[in-house]
Amino acid sequence: MRRIAVLTSGGDAPGMNAAIRAVVRYSIYKGLQIFGIERGYKGLIEGDLKEMLIPSVGDIIHRGGTMLRSARCLEFMEEEGKKRALNILDVFKIDGLVVIGGDGTFRGAKTLCDAGFPVIGVPGTIDNDLAYTDYTIGFDTALNTVLDAVSKLRDTTSSHERVSIIEVMGRNCGDIALYTGLGGGAEEILVPETKHDIDNICKKILLSANRGKTQSIIMVAEGVGSANDICAQIHEKTGLDVRATILGHIQRGGSPTAKDRILASQFAAHAVQCLLDGKSSRVVGIRENKIIDMDITEALDMKSKFNESMYELTKILSI
């Protein structure tokens, strides 16, 4: 292993820059030559690679987004795209690749691994939807961004004695809604992992309003449906003053939290070390506070890690 490359792919996540920095610096420290690939798999099939040096990653650890930029590349998933990627890796004499991203990025990595090319995956997505790892890079920052918004919404929701429906990202995973629901003191949390009954929700809101509660916060994971629809249903059934807020891409930006910067640095160094140790087809993660790596296929096959006990606790605390 003499020359490796790194890319970021899929939705960006705060902490990706800290991961790129650690891949580059750890590689150079270990005597490797390191290349950055622009715009994920798209840049790979287009041959958009550049050598990274120690200063290339200076002053980025605290920045959101990804200095290598990111893209979702359908072409790469075709046989022709994969062939072109392998050719480019051959042309640049790259011996191993670190990919930073989520589920789609890892599925792309798997196709290269299946073709015999060494790849290690680093989980970078705000969604926290990879079952094999307790946390993904960017999740903690997104939680803090959402909580900041929830606190602000609480102020105005309370002043006007309203119900606020707050829609958050997460694709098919309810973790952002669940964790911020608990941290933000939400009355209800709607996640794709469990069913909800709109009549029960309406009854609970009305009963608490009758008790003198001046506001209700309802977190909705985007995988459940639209906050606007839920807002209309609750208004229709209760007559209460309800507002929907869709937080959108603001959740993907911002300076990474301490947790995300540290996790990103540890994951990235571990990934490079995996390549140096001759490992391939592995993804890096954290379980019970320990940095781990596991087989990419096994990791992708794992089912949802939805935290039932946390969900139950949110119900108890919102009585």
Binding site for ligand F6P (CB under 6 A): 11, 102, 125-127, 169-171, 222, 252
The answer to the question of whether 25 is labelled as a binding residue is yes
Residue nearer to ligand F6P on the CB measure, 103 or 187:
103
Q: How far is CA 253 from the centre of its chain?
A: 11
Alpha-helical segments (H) within 92-138: 103-114
Residue nearer to ligand F6P on the CB measure, 162 or 252:
252
Whole-number Cα distances in Å, 283 to 127, 133, 140, 201, 267: 17, 9, 20, 40, 9
The answer to the question of whether 105 is labelled as a binding residue is yes
Torsion of CA 50, 284, 274, 99, to 10 degrees: -20
Q: Please, which residues have CB within 8 angstroms of residue 145's CB and are 6 or more apart in sequence?
A: 247, 250, 251, 253, 254
Are 224 and 118 contacting, i.e. CB atoms less than 8 angstroms apart?
no
The answer to the question of whether 185 is labelled as a binding residue is yes
Q: Is 59 a catalytic residue?
A: no
Residue of 59, 95, 127, 140 marked active site: 127
State in angstroms the smallest separation of the CB of 177 from ligand F6P: 11
State in angstroms the smallest separation of the CB of 72 from ligand F6P: 6
Residue nearer to ligand F6P on the CB measure, 220 or 242:
220
Residue nearer to ligand F6P on the CB measure, 169 or 230:
169
In the sheet with 96-101, reading across from the earlier edge strand, the strands are 49-52, 33-37, 3-8, 96-101, 119-123, 282-287, 290-295
The answer to the question of whether 245 is labelled as a binding residue is no
State in angstroms the smallest separation of the CB of 299 from ligand F6P: 17
CB neighbour class for 312 (10 Å; exposed up to 12, middle 13-18, buried from 19): exposed
The answer to the question of whether 84 is labelled as a binding residue is no
State in angstroms the smallest separation of the CB of 126 from ligand F6P: 6
Active-site amino acid positions = 127
Q: Binding site membership: which residues?
A: 11, 21-25, 72-73, 102-105, 125-127, 154, 162, 169-171, 185-187, 211, 213-215, 222, 243, 249-252
